[in-house]
């Protein structure tokens, strides 16, 4: 998505316009994340750019999208440009070793029986 949103509308309340913009952005992100992933990747990475115009747009973190929109509204911008590009990514997960519960219980029983034998 590469789009310029207008923050002002003569017929609508500014807060309603802001909510509508946020809703459209969230809807786009959900739609992109629902797409099937390629075989060699396991998540969708969203590259983001934000600015008052396309030429002034800078890269931002995905988590800061709504914060930047709120800041633009508070600074009374008339419009802003946002670019959201979904890219397949790969994240390597470390596998944890699973210890069987039965083994732990057996060791505890063994230790408890040894302590009882020593006391007798």
Token pair, residue 108, equals: 């505890």
Tell me the sheet residues that pair with 89. 43
Rg over alpha carbons for the chain, rounded to the nearest Å, is 27
Domain locations along the chain: 2-93
Closest of 59, 58, 82 to residue 5, by C-alpha: 82
**pLDDT tens digits in sequence order for the chain, 120 residues long:** 999 999 999 999 999 999 999 999 999 999 999 999 999 999 999 999 999 999 999 999 999 999 999 999 999 999 999 999 999 999 887 766 655 555 555 566 556 655 555 555
Closest of 73, 62, 87 to residue 17, by C-alpha: 73
**Claim: this prediction has a pTM higher than 0.85:** no
> 43-51 and 58-60 as β-strands: parallel, antiparallel, unpaired?
antiparallel
């Amino acid at each position: 998505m590469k789009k310029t949103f207008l923050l002002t509308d003569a017929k609508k309340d500014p807060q309603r316009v802001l909510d509508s913009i946020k809703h459209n952005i969230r809807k786009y992100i959900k739609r992109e994340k629902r797409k099937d992933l390629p075989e060699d990747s396991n998540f969708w990475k969203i590259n983001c750019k934000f600015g008052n115009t396309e030429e002034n747009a800078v890269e931002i973190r995905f988590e800061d999208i709504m914060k930047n929109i709120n800041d633009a509204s508070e600074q009374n911008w008339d419009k802003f440009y946002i670019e959201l590009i979904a890219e397949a990514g790969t994240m390597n997960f470390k596998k944890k070793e699973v210890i069987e519960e039965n083994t732990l219980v057996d060791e505890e029983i063994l230790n408890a029986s040894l302590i009882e034998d020593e006391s007798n």
